[in-house]
Structure 1
Amino acid sequence: MKKTTYLIPVLVIAVVAALSAIFVVDEREKALVLQFGQIKAVKEDPGLAFKIPIIQEVVRYDDRILSLDTETIEVTPSDDRRLVVDAFARYRIADVVQFRQAVGVGGIRFAEDRLSSILNSKIREVLGADQVTSDTILSEDRGRLMIRIRDQARAEARSLGLDVVDVRLKQTNLPAQNLEATFARMRAEREREAADEIARGNEAAQRVRALADRTVVETLSEADRDANVIRGEADAERNRIFAEAFGADPEFFAFYRSLQAYERALQGGNSTMVMTPDSQFFDYFSNERAGQAPAN
């Protein structure tokens, strides 16, 4: 009975010791086995692993790609136009032993503070370099600038056991005090462009109107010319017909012209005409003259 009493606690202690000696490494992490703060083993492959109970401890680190947002900073490109920039980085722990030696017990938080300082330094260095203007940063060339920032930050972050996978500039804005002046300048430029477009449109409209007016004048001139030609030809034809009629029977032609004169002169109205009865105008009213009219 006494043996059983002592055996059970020993078995329990043995089981607990055996269980504490076993740990599982997840596929999304890496683990270090430490003994009195010294690295004794590195466990990078997922699965079961062992350690000495009580004496050794396990420290786990995330093996996935992590994200870090930098704080907003101001940079001054070569054209002296200040910009407010904030970025984010993607990184992972590439060398877990070097990472532990660099950050100690500070872990990820301490490493991200160090990495954030590195990124801000490289952002200022790259965006403030010669030949880099604010227009370059705001153009398609910003992709090339981000690659330069990533490469320089990656080289310096290796001392922390980190691999900087990517760096992206989220925003590149003007400081608040400069925005209004910039917007005013942009409005002025757009208004000037609009005025130039309006002036060019008015000039084009004047050319079109002048061309239309000239076309109208030329068309009317040609029409008047053609009309005068037709009227002249008609008058010539009329005169020819009258001349032939006059030559064929001068007496009848004189009689016909007199009738036309009577018709125009003797129309009703308020006009008064005083003439002597023996006037030649009344030749065809006398019996003798009327009797001489040719009969048809």
Structure 2
Amino acid sequence: MKKSTFLLPIVVVAIAALLSSVFIVDEREKALVLQFGRVVDVKEDPGLAFKIPLIQEVVRYDDRIQSRDVDPLEVTPLDDRRLVVDAFARYRIADVERFRQAVGVGGLATAESRLDSILRAETREILGSVSSNDILSSDRAALMLRIRNNAIAEARGLGLEIIDVRLKRTDLPEENLDATFERMRAEREREATDERARGNEAAQRVRAQADRTVVELVSDANRQSEIIRGEADAERNNIFASAFSRDPEFFEFYRSMTAYQRSLQGGNSTLVLSPDSDFFNYLKSDELTPQ
């Protein structure tokens, strides 16, 4: 009984020691075995691994690709047109032992802070060597590749592998946006004014041409009507002359009847004539021959 009581704690301690010496390395991570803060083993393959209990400890790091957004920074291209650039990078821990030596217990937070400094410095250097038009054009892809390639060597000292660097946004600083918008608005208003002026000028030309055409058409129509009226009057006069030459007495009678019709109409008009006036010759006689 006393012997079993003495062995039980030993067995429990042995089992606990065995369990604490075994750890599992996930396929999405890498692990370092540290002994008094010094790296004694690197575990990169997934599966079971062992360490010395109490003396050694395990530190795990994510082996997946990470994304890091760089805070917006202001750059000055060759043409002195300041721009605010917003970038991000994709990276992974390539050398976990060097990573531990470079950042110590600071871990990923310290590494990302130093990575930000590297990316900001390279972004300023590369974008400061070209014009703003190159940054805003399709050549920006080549500039991002240059930033990535220059940052790879420095990031390697941190045990990091930079996979890609991208510029998300490239804008003017806030203090320059209002001035730029006002300049663009003034330019558009000037163009609109020019277009309206050209439109009014074209409209005036069209109206003047239309007025001229109207005057020409009316003048030609009046001329044609006068010609037709003159020809009709001439033909009428010819008819009257021919009729008069055939029977002058009837023609005189017809003219008198026409004069009676035009002068003796209803209304307030009053004619004061002598009864023996020649005007009433055909009214005083039953014959056509005037007396």
Q: TM-score range by the shorter chain?
A: 0.7 to 0.9
- Post-superposition offset of 1:159: 2.3
The residue that corresponds to 1:218 in the other structure is 216
- Post-superposition offset of 1:291: 4.9
The residue that corresponds to 1:163 in the other structure is 161
The residue that corresponds to 2:95 in the other structure is 95
For normalisation by structure 2, the TM-score amounts to: 0.84
Q: Deviations over 1:262-287 (max 9, x none)?
A: 333444655656579465x4553554
3-state SS of paired residue (1:45) = coil
Mapping 1:249-288, distance limit 5 Å: 249-267=247-265, 269-270=268-269, 277=276, 279=278, 281-285=279-283, 287=285
Q: For residues 204 and 43 of structure 1, do their structure 2 counterparts lie closer, same or farther at Cα, with a shift above 3 Å needed?
A: farther
Q: Of 177, 180, 184, which residue of structure 1 is paired with 2:178? A: 180
What is the identity, as a one-letter code, of the residue corresponding to 1:242?
F
Structure 1: distance between partners of 2:225 and 2:192: 48
3-state SS of paired residue (2:34) = strand
Q: Select between 15-24 and 167-176 the one with higher mean Cα deviation.
A: 167-176
3-state SS of paired residue (1:160) = coil
Structure 2: distance between partners of 1:170 and 1:276: 116
Contact 2:36 2:55 in 1 (8 A): yes
The residue that corresponds to 2:152 in the other structure is 154
Q: For residues 142 and 3 of structure 1, do their structure 2 counterparts lie closer, same or farther at Cα, with a shift above 3 Å needed?
A: same
Structure 2: distance between partners of 1:183 and 1:173: 13
Structure 2: distance between partners of 1:163 and 1:186: 43
Alignment RMSD: 2.9
- Post-superposition offset of 1:255: 1.6
The residue that corresponds to 1:61 in the other structure is 61
Q: For residues 35 and 269 of structure 1, do their structure 2 counterparts lie closer, same or farther at Cα, with a shift above 3 Å needed?
A: same
Q: How many pairs align?
A: 289
Q: Deviations over 1:128-167 (max 9, x none)?
A: 113x22x443455444433332333234322222122333
The residue that corresponds to 1:248 in the other structure is 246
What is the identity, as a one-letter code, of the residue corresponding to 2:69?
D
Q: Deviations over 1:188-228 (max 9, x none)?
A: 22221221222122223223322332332333234334433
- Post-superposition offset of 1:241: 3.1
Unaligned runs of 5+ in 1: none
Q: Select between 220-229 and 19-28 the one with higher mean Cα deviation.
A: 220-229
3-state SS of paired residue (1:70) = strand
Q: Does 1:31 align with 2:28?
A: no
Unaligned runs of 5+ in 2: none
3-state SS of paired residue (2:77) = coil
Contact 2:249 2:289 in 1 (8 A): no
Structure 2: distance between partners of 1:221 and 1:73: 77
3-state SS of paired residue (1:77) = coil
Over the matched positions of the two proteins, sequence identity in percent amounts to: 66
Q: For residues 6 and 110 of structure 1, do their structure 2 counterparts lie closer, same or farther at Cα, with a shift above 3 Å needed?
A: same
Contact 2:99 2:159 in 1 (8 A): yes
The residue that corresponds to 1:72 in the other structure is 72
The residue that corresponds to 1:197 in the other structure is 195
Structure 2: distance between partners of 1:155 and 1:249: 130
Q: Select between 99-108 and 35-44 the one with higher mean Cα deviation.
A: 35-44
Q: For residues 227 and 158 of structure 1, do their structure 2 counterparts lie closer, same or farther at Cα, with a shift above 3 Å needed?
A: farther
What is the identity, as a one-letter code, of the residue corresponding to 1:44?
E
Structure 1: distance between partners of 2:288 and 2:224: 47
Q: For residues 16 and 278 of structure 1, do their structure 2 counterparts lie closer, same or farther at Cα, with a shift above 3 Å needed?
A: closer
Structure 1: distance between partners of 2:105 and 2:173: 39
Q: Deviations over 1:84-110 (max 9, x none)?
A: 333222221122233223223322122
- Post-superposition offset of 1:259: 1.9
What is the identity, as a one-letter code, of the residue corresponding to 1:65?
I
Q: Does 1:292 align with 2:289?
A: yes
